Amino acid sequence: EAEASAASAVLLPYTLSGARKPALRAPNVRLAFARTIALLHPEARPASGIHPTAIVGEGTRVGLGPAIGPYAVISNGCEIGDEVIIGATCVIGRDVQIGDGTVLYPRVTIYDQCVIGRRVILHSGAVVGSDGFGYAAVEGRQVKIPHVGRVVIEDDVEVGANSSIDRATLGDTRIGAGTKIDNQCQIGHNVTIGRDVVIAGQSGISGSVTIGDRVVLAGRVGVVDHVRIGDGAMVLAGAAVRKDVPPGAVMWGIPARPHREELEIQATLGRLPDLLKRVTALEQQGKRTTPSRRRSARRRQNAR
């Protein structure tokens, strides 16, 4: 397909030979592809400066070369690093810290006292630091538990559009360096996520979950509260994690089980209609033979 395409050149691994088109060889073709796109299509940076409609609160310090868009609101006491981009209508609460080179796309909201590292990307509609989902039941009513902790997002994290990361009840909700969170994900209060974790779209992580380094959660994974997921584990799409996952495990299903075990269960489920027919046939056969067996038994008794 590559040879028949209109491409002027191709990217190939070292192990593949025989290309007739000009080829750029690399040990990691996907990484080379990403860097090639970045070179050929550099992202346009907005003009530096603070838009006249933006609001910057008292005591807030803004670093060198910022680009702060229309109607952005930065509250009092914030620390904004160098070369930070804050898109239109973003709202940043009091005493927030944002590191160098971070990008906030339009309509991002960061609540009070949260800490955002360097080179972080928050896509439109992301909410960082909203209250966790915690209530105390009293005589059938739900009384709100105050959440007075923070969210700490370390360096090089990316958070997709319309994802939410709740602040801790006490202490920190923490997202480790290099972690990538897709669109429409929910991260509950007091969650700790390690380094270089990948979380695909529509996944939900309940409160006080601990996720190790280099974990992968595929799309629509659900994790119940207080679960621990070990380093390097992978949870496949649609799984519901209800108990701890050991390091390096591959899990799938509802509830999540080791992948091979779940495959066997799914294969068995596919045979259930045929098994039901066979069981029903055996039951019917048993009903037909039972009266004749009873008559034979009576004749044997009478003969005695």
Q: What span, in angstroms and rounded, lies between the C-alpha atoms of 127 and 117?
A: 16
| 189 is an active site residue | yes
The answer to which of 39-43, 122-126, 189-193, 217-221 has the lowest mean pLDDT is 39-43
Q: What is the mean pLDDT of residues 245-254?
A: 97
The torsion region of residue 59 among left (phi > 0), alpha (psi -120 to 50) and beta comes to left
Domains of the chain, CATH where assigned: 10-40 (no CATH), 108-255 (2.160.10.10)
Q: Cβ neighbours of residue 227 under 8 Å, at least 6 residues apart?
A: 206, 209, 210, 241, 242, 243, 244, 245
Peptide bond into 255 cis (omega under 30): yes
From the list 37, 49, 179, 161, the residue with the least C-alpha distance to 109 is 161
pLDDT, one tens digit per residue, over 52-78 is 999 999 999 999 999 999 999 999 999
Asked if 73 contacts 67 with a C-beta cutoff of 8 angstroms, the reply is no
CA distance 251 to 219: 13
Report the run of H or E that residue 247 belongs to, with start and end.
Answer: none
Residue 215 CA to residue 230 CA, distance in Å, equals 8
Residue (of 125, 71, 136, 64) closest to 100 by Cα position: 64
CA distance 121 to 128: 12
Res 259: pLDDT: 95
SS3 296: helix
Mean pLDDT of all residues belonging to the chain: 93
* pLDDT, position 298: 66
Please give the C-alpha separations between residue 300 and each of 205, 286, 290, 297, 304, in angstroms, as whole numbers: 70, 21, 16, 5, 7
Q: Report the pLDDT value the prediction gives residue 19, as an integer from 0 to 100.
A: 77
C-beta separation of 224 from 206 below 8 A: yes
Lowest mean pLDDT among 42-46, 153-157, 161-165: 42-46
Structure confidence by residue, pLDDT tens digits, 112-161: 999 999 999 999 999 999 999 999 999 999 999 999 999 999 999 999 99
Q: Find the mean pLDDT for residues 172-187.
A: 99
Distance separating alpha carbons of residues 9 and 32, to the nearest angstrom: 13
Name the nearest CA neighbour of 166 among 150, 155, 184.
Answer: 150
Q: What is the DSSP letter of 280?
A: H
- Alpha-carbon distance 22 to 8, whole Å? 7
d(CA 163, CA 200): 11
**Which listed residue (123, 189, 226, 259) is catalytic?**
189
